[in-house]
């Protein structure tokens, strides 16, 4: 079968890498892809912001299955359009993807369906922000309502800081149109966890859990990013907690969406805070996370194509996935200045040497390739991902591999999974 993967990041490289392992797959396309994905798939230019452009490309390629990586095409209704044409595509419709594309929709949905989440207020003006802040104690979290590539969340130490962040969002200076409405939230304390399930509109099957590291600096310092690294181990979540989350979060979401006329098929990513009072939902994503996809798929031992088709065909079951008990770690190498302004076009060396480290795969996130050499082409450049029987060894392998890679301005966190290692 022919498979088309839409997207250009590390998540899409991991998808291409895993889909290639299916004995059923004979050809993989990726649109638009990147320098590293081009080694594993046929990359084709496309404007992922244009459903018409994606339709035109797919009509030409006639793939047997299309897999959507990033969130924007889902919001724009690519699944709706493909389904209308009778094309097989994995992911939720635009109505279902509101769980990610609108923070205010997600918060009100959780309140309607009694899904545990933080106290919040939805504001369309600074007058509403100032009034709502009276009901919060510091610190306060300010979130852009729309899609902001992981950068629309500011944790504010004081109410004054929260008002300032909200003003910047509402003005359009921080994240453009995504900040035209803001959500204020109480700041929850605990460990963040990424819990993902696959759904066919009725049933759900959980994937292994992972933990992302969103802040740019060691010790969770500096601004939020799209994610600076992630890890996955069997110890992250026991079976009892997994079953509780399926019962009290994932199933109520899928049932609630169906009841509201927006059947949810695809990946449901539940971003959680594991608080002293129990798990609370921070956000939903309607697709695989990046960089969590890299360590999660490295632990997957069953055929990914089979699981994706089960979602499309309405036959998801707990037997769709077989997982390795190994630990996996992804360390993101970023361009100098990221998540702020950065330069591109810096030559990258050492990738081949890094992949000679046992258990390591380097996934490309923001790269281009010219005359056999790789160059930086984005903020997050590479996801150096390692697998081993235990977390300590996986970390050692990932950092040994990252140490072999060089490009001007390269930086990465040195403490991915450090807290887990201490525990």
From 304, 320, 336, the end of a domain falls on: 320
Mean pLDDT in residue range 135-163: 90
Whether residue 266 has pLDDT greater than 80: yes
> Region 143-166: what's the mean pLDDT?
90
pLDDT, tens digit (0-9, with 9 covering 90-100), for 320-342 = 799 999 999 999 999 999 999 99
Q: Tell whether 386 and 276 lie within a shared domain.
A: no
Percent of the chain with pLDDT over 70: 100
Is residue 33, in this structure, part of any structural domain at all?
yes
In terms of domains, do 293 and 244 share one? yes
Residues 291, 277: Cα–Cα separation, whole Å: 28
- Give the Cα separation of 30 and 260 in Å (integer): 34
Number of neighbouring beta carbons within 10 Å of residue 189: 10
Q: What is the CATH number of the domain that holds 382?
A: 3.90.600.10
Whether residue 343 sits in one domain with residue 287: no
Average of per-residue pLDDT across 139-144 = 94
Model pLDDT, residue 318: 78
CB 346 within 8 A of CB 379: no
Low-confidence winner among 55-59, 172-176, 184-188, 296-300 (lowest mean pLDDT): 172-176
CB 161 within 8 A of CB 94: no
CA distance 371 to 368: 10
Give the chain's domain count.
Answer: 4
pLDDT score of 395: 98
pLDDT attached to residue 151: 74
Render 297-354 in DSSP notation, one character per residue.
Answer: HHHB-S-HHHHHHHHHHT---GGG--B-SSEEEEEEEE-TTTTS------EEB-HHHH
* Mean pLDDT value across residues 261-271: 97
- What average pLDDT is seen over the chain? 96
Q: Please say if the pLDDT value at position 368 is more than 80.
A: yes
Q: Which domain holds residue 275?
A: 191-320
pTM of the predicted structure, to 2 decimals = 0.94
Of 289, 381, 341, whose CA–CA distance to 100 is shortest? 289
């Amino acid at each position: 079968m022919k498979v088309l993967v839409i997207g250009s990041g590390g998540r899409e490289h991991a998808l291409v890498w895993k889909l290639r392992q299916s004995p059923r797959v004979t050809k993989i396309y990726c649109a638009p892809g990147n320098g590293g994905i081009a080694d594993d798939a046929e990359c084709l230019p496309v404007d992922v912001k244009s459903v018409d452009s994606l339709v035109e490309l797919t009509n030409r390629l006639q793939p047997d299955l299309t897999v959507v990586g990033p969130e924007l095409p889902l919001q724009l209704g690519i699944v709706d359009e493909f389904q209308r044409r009778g094309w097989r595509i994995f992911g939720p419709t635009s109505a279902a993807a509101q769980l990610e594309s609108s923070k205010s929709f997600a918060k009100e949905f959780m309140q309607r369906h009694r899904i545990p989440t933080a106290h919040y207020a939805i504001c369309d003006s600074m007058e509403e922000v100032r009034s709502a802040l009276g009901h919060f104690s510091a610190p306060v979290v300010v979130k852009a309502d729309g899609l902001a590539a992981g950068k629309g969340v500011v944790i504010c130490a004081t109410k004054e800081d929260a008002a300032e962040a909200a003003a910047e969002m509402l003005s359009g200076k921080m994240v453009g149109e995504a900040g035209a409405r803001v959500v204020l939230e109480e700041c929850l304390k605990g460990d963040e966890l990424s819990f993902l399930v696959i759904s066919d509109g009725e049933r759900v099957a959980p994937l292994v859990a992972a933990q992302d590291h969103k802040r740019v600096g060691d010790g969770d310092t500096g601004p939020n990013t799209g994610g600076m690294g992630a890890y996955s181990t069997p110890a992250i979540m026991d079976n009892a907690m997994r079953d509780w989350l399926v019962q009290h979060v994932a199933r109520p979401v899928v049932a609630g969406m169906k009841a509201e006329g927006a059947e949810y098929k695809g990946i449901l990513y539940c971003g959680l805070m594991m608080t002293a009072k129990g798990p609370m939902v921070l956000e939903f994503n309607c697709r695989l996370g990046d960089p969590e996809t890299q360590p999660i798929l490295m632990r997957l031992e069953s055929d990914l194509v089979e699981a994706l088709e089960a979602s499309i065909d309405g036959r998801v079951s707990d037997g769709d996935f077989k997982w390795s008990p190994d630990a996996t770690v992804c360390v993101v190498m970023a361009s100098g200045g990221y998540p702020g302004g950065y330069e591109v076009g810096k030559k990258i060396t050492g990738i081949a040497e890094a992949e000679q480290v046992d258990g390591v795969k380097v996934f490309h996130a923001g790269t281009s390739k010219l005359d056999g050499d790789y160059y930086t082409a984005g903020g997050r450049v590479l996801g150096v991902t390692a697998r081993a029987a235990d977390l300590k060894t996986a970390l050692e392998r990932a950092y040994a591999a990252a140490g072999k890679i060089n490009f001007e301005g390269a930086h990465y966190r040195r403490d991915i999974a450090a807290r887990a290692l201490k525990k």
